[in-house]
Amino acid sequence: MPKGRVEIHEKYCKSCGLCVAVCPTKVLRISEKTNTKGYRPVEQFKEGCIGCALCAVTCPDAAIEVFKTEE
Ligand code: SF4
Ligand code: SF4
């Protein structure tokens, strides 16, 4: 199973939820914290990212980077 890791640039996130909806393994959620612009940034809340990069491609604000870790 491919594995990946996401890096979320919280200051760019606008809480739109598109990445949460598109993630096939449902490892993302809107967090409880607030960023400098007053939005609640996305967080990865459990293991299971497969590095598919759908979240990064979907994000209109380039707030997510995806790194493949292993196959
Ligand atoms: S890379 Fe794929 S599996 Fe990982 S968080 Fe993004 S959409 Fe989900
Ligand atoms: S798609 Fe981008 S801006 Fe929207 S919630 Fe996800 S990280 Fe934030």
Domain segments of the chain as ranges = 3-70
Q: How far is the CA of 5 from the centre of ligand 1 (A)?
A: 8
Q: Whose CA is nearest to atom 8 of ligand 2?
A: 13
Atom of ligand 1 nearest to the CA of 28: 5
12 alpha carbon, closest ligand: 2
For residues 21-37, give the mean pLDDT: 97
* Residue 71 reports pLDDT greater than 80: no
What is the pTM for the complete model shown?
A: 0.95
CATH fold, domain 3-70, is Alpha-Beta Plaits (3.30.70)
Angle CA 62–5–56, to nearest 5: 20
Q: Distance between the two ends of the chain, CA-based, in angstroms?
A: 6
Distances (CA, A) of 8 to 4, 19, 41, 61: 13, 11, 8, 11
* Residue 18 reports pLDDT greater than 70: yes
SS3 content of the chain, % helix, strand, coil (to 5): 20, 25, 55
